[in-house]
Structure 1
Amino acid sequence: MAATWYVRRRAFESGRASAVRGGRAAARDRGVADGPRRRPGVSGLMARLHYLTRSDHARQRAREAGLTVTDRTLRAWLEGRRSPSKANLRRIEESCRTVRRENVARYLLARLNRAGRGTRVEIHPLNQSQVSGPRQRVVEYRTLNVRHWDRIVAAWAAGDERELDDAWVDQIVDLGSQWGQYEYVTNIGFAA
């Protein structure tokens, strides 16, 4: 195990192997980067404002996420009578991302846990194509059925990368003695 760790560390330090932490790969691109989907004919700002004000619950979540303007100001923005300042534009963007991430997290958790059945995950090992021959090791493509996504999704929703990595390691320990080879991966694929 120590030799495997040393080879992995040396390959990463020299920049020849390409991979990311498994937790980050599991959390990558889950529909949050773009914010809410735009409706035809609605600008990005208007789409975000509609997303944040579509219900009392959404408005409350936006306030908790940092958008602390009055309802009167929100109405003026929505009607086009006033424009938000640069500081408020940043708050709108951040609030929209936070609320969207929470909404997607609830959906993902239900979808990935699938009433206790879990979701099959494809783990693609790190790319060693630039590592010299004697230092390459055989790391196979693996699959794993993850049944408990609660910690992974909660860490992703909170934006806590350390907790995300710890939660991922707790799942890959089920691979047996080879789990350390899958801390760093090229990609993690699953249908969600």
Structure 2
Amino acid sequence: MPYDDSGWKNFGAYGANRSAGNVRGGVALGRALESALSRQILEGGIKSPVTSQRGLRARLNYLNNDAGIQAMRNAGITVRTRTMTNWFTGTQKPRPANLELIDTAYWNLRTQRILDNLGAFKQHLNNQGRGTAIEIYPIDQSLVDDHAVRQNLIGEQAVRNLPNVRYIWDEAVDAMKAGDAQKLEEIWDDIITELDSDWGAYTYVSYVGLGA
């Protein structure tokens, strides 16, 4: 599986493509961004369960608006408007089945609002100009033909860490949202140039992690 300055030659000729996790760096970057965004959605959300009084009240406060009511209807809540008003005022408690739907409506609306305005996510990755760390794992060679295994891509020393990747996050997030694979590949190429002469070995990778 030789590679040169332009990346891998004939990728998969000796079995690198037998491992489903081995992908172009731009694909792995897109997945890492999606994972980081999911963490932001979950970790910034309401922690208390919907079955607790505190958790229920917090969700209903979040949903007590036109968009929230629509999200509740979209989630499958069919009660009368008066019943829903009683939930909001705290004079009536939803049945268990509706508690689950309220939770679904809350997470759906929170997710949609974040996806509609990714500015906060970009700020999180830019980290006031300090950037975000990237951890890069080389391709998985477990299914590669023995004679073609690259020893320099085995072990902890082959995992590369870039502690402060800056200036690419706005474009990367926009490309992720747009599903622009070509742009993500271009951004990935910019990122791995920081690896100097080793960069060609990381045009394909098994995993990319973000410190965000």
- TM norm structure 1: 0.62
Counterpart check, 1:75 vs 2:97: no
After TM superposition, the structure 1 = structure 2 runs for residues 46-61 of structure 1, keeping only pairs within 5 Å, are: 47=55, 50-51=58-59, 53-54=61-62, 59=65
Taking the aligned partners of 1:152 and 1:74, their CA distance within structure 2 comes to: 41
Counterpart position of 1:129: 142
**Taking structure 1 as reference, are residues 81 and 148 closer, same or farther at Cα in structure 2, changes over 3 Å only?**
same
After TM superposition, the structure 1 = structure 2 runs for residues 1-192 of structure 1, keeping only pairs within 5 Å, are: 4-8=8-12, 11=15, 13-15=17-19, 18-19=21-22, 21-22=27-28, 23-29=30-36, 30-31=38-39, 32=41, 36-39=45-48, 42-43=50-51, 47=55, 50-51=58-59, 53-54=61-62, 59=65, 62=68, 66-67=71-72, 72=82, 74-78=84-88, 79=90, 80-83=92-95, 84=98, 91-99=105-113, 105-137=118-150, 138-139=152-153, 140-144=158-162, 145-154=165-174, 156=176, 158=177, 160=178, 162-163=179-180, 165-174=181-190, 175-176=192-193, 178=199, 181-190=202-211, 192=212
Q: Structure 1: 5+ residue runs without aligned partners?
A: none
Q: SS of the counterpart of 1:147?
A: coil
Q: SS of the counterpart of 1:54?
A: helix
Q: SS of the counterpart of 1:126?
A: coil
Shift of residue 172 of structure 1? 1.8
1:134-189 Cα offsets, whole Å, 9 max, x none, are 23344443344232311333455x4x5x33x4443232212348357334332323
1:125·1:186 contact (CA, 8 Å) conserved in 2? yes
1:62·1:99 contact (CA, 8 Å) conserved in 2? no
2:87·2:94 contact (CA, 8 Å) conserved in 1? yes
Letter in 2 for 1:141: V
How many residue pairs match? The answer is 181
Letter in 1 for 2:166: V
Shift of residue 35 of structure 1? 7.7
1:63-105 Cα offsets, whole Å, 9 max, x none, are 68x44589755433443444549987755553243235567x4
Taking the aligned partners of 1:77 and 1:9, their CA distance within structure 2 comes to: 62
Taking the aligned partners of 1:110 and 1:180, their CA distance within structure 2 comes to: 30
2:175·2:184 contact (CA, 8 Å) conserved in 1? no
Q: Give the greater-gyration-radius structure (CA).
A: 2
CA RMSD of aligned residues (A): 4.3
